Amino acid sequence: MKKAKETADAVPATASIKIKIDGKERAFDIDNPVLPDWIEDNKLTAGGYPYDKKMKSEDYEKELEGLQIELVKAQAWLQATGKRVMALFEGRDAAGKGGTIFVLRQYMNPRTARNVALPKPTPTEAGQWYYQRYVDHFPASGEFVTFDRSWYNRAGVEPVMGFCTPEQHERFLDETPHFERMICNEGIHFFKFWLNIGRETQLERFHDRRWSPLKNWKFSPIDIAGVSKWDDYTKARDQMIERTHKEFSPWIVVRANDKRRARLAVMQRILLSLPYDGRDLDAVGKPDKKIIGEGPGFLKD
């Protein structure tokens, strides 16, 4: 506990904040090492999550290995055919984007399986066409590219935190489907994943980051600044998915309170969409329709 306390002391203190969940006002103090019961009791089932227990570790590891073997096959097919894959991962802070990308790419050849996680724009990039710095990282022949956040920053964090103007936000929502149609017309296998988590789930993960000597680098003041803007982020998310969910580039929504189920669902979706040689459908398995779906309707189910 001493090491955890020493590490936590290096993180700037934050005031206790008031949160209203299901009509009840709650107090959350991330500087208190004890997680409140109301978070602990609901961290998995928050937001109507359909399971009340995590997937068993042994079941997860078995399915994960089979899917990772299939991903290696798929990468060989990309190399042989020159086909390209691009997958965007979006979601609230602590939704599990980085961990999902890690297991997805874990055994793929890193020379042709790249992850893109861009920092905030430089002054030069800020003066470019908005999509330009992302296009620079698009897949070449035979490549598999993931984006840990993408141009959809302009549909979420930027308008909510005041980093873009309302006019820029509206123009983005209007232009992005046209931009993505060009990606699909180019023949790139294009995926957009939204990892959806409940509110107590997010708070538990923030708390874990704050007090973990291994994860505290993930914690930032903007995380806490966003806690009180949950409803604003929800509104922005709903508008984004409503305006940019298209048949040619659908939003794939994954209920991600249980990271294990979410990771498997993402991998299955990609593998079922790629016509690679030697695909083993028994190893890929069938999608869990309680966990993965498409578009605004799945968010409301």
Q: How far apart are CA 140 and CA 243, in angstroms?
A: 28
Model pLDDT, residue 13: 46
Q: Give pLDDT, residue 15.
A: 59
Q: How many of the other CB atoms lie within 10 Å of CB of 115?
A: 18
Q: Rounded mean pLDDT of 30-38?
A: 93
Contact 254, 196 (CB under 8 A): yes
The pLDDT, as a whole number, for residue 225 is 80
Average pLDDT over residues 24-46: 94
* Residue 3 pLDDT: 39
pLDDT at 12 exceeding the cut of 60: no
Q: What is the pLDDT of residue 218?
A: 86
pTM score, whole prediction? 0.93
- Using a 10 angstrom Cβ sphere, with 0-12 exposed, 13-18 middle and 19 or more buried, the burial of residue 151 is buried
pLDDT range class, residue 1, cuts 50, 70, 90: very low
Identify whether the C-beta of residue 65 lies closer than 8 Å to the C-beta of residue 169: no
Which whole number is the average pLDDT over 76-84? 98
CB 75 within 8 A of CB 112: yes
Q: For the segment 91-121, what is each residue's pLDDT rounded down to a tens digit? A: 999 999 999 999 999 999 999 999 999 999 9
Predicted pLDDT at 166: 98
DSSP 120-135: SPPHHHHTS-TTHHHH
Indicate whether 222 pLDDT > 90.
no
Q: To the nearest whole number, what is the mean pLDDT of the chain?
A: 93
pLDDT tens digits for 149-193? Answer: 999 999 999 999 999 999 999 999 999 999 999 999 999 999 999
Which tens digit of pLDDT belongs to each residue from 38-79? Answer: 999 999 999 999 999 999 999 999 999 999 999 999 999 999
* Centroid of chain to Cα 204: 17
The position carrying tokens 């042709």 is 112
